[in-house]
Amino acid sequence: MISTAMAALLQTVVLSASPTMTYEQAYAETEKTGKPLVVLIGADWCGACRVMKNTALPQVAQDAVFKDVAFTVVNTDTQKDIAKQVMQGGSIPQLVMFQRDGDKWTQQRLVGAQSPAAIIQFLRAGVKNSLGKLAGRE
Predicted confidence at residue 14, as pLDDT, reads: 37
User: pLDDT category, 100, cuts 50, 70, 90?
Assistant: confident
Q: What is the mean pLDDT of the chain?
A: 83
Domain coordinates in residue numbering, the chain: 2-137
Predicted confidence at residue 102, as pLDDT, reads: 79
CATH class of 2-137: alpha beta
- Span 52-72, mean pLDDT? 93
What SS3 class is residue 71? strand
Q: Is the pLDDT score of 18 beyond 70?
A: no
- Span 85-99, mean pLDDT? 94
Q: Is the pLDDT score of 15 beyond 60?
A: no
Confidence (pTM): 0.79
Neighbour-count burial of 51, counting CB atoms closer than 10 A to its CB (0-12 exposed, 13-18 middle, 19+ buried)? middle
Query: Which range has highest mean pLDDT (10-24, 73-87, 96-110)?
Result: 73-87
How do residues 75-87 score in pLDDT, each as one tens digit?
Answer: 999 999 999 999 9
Q: What angle do CA 40, 105, 71 make, to 5 degrees?
A: 25
Q: Which strand ranges, in their side-by-side order, compose the sheet holding 37-42?
A: 70-75, 37-42, 94-101, 104-111
Q: Is the pLDDT score of 41 beyond 60?
A: yes
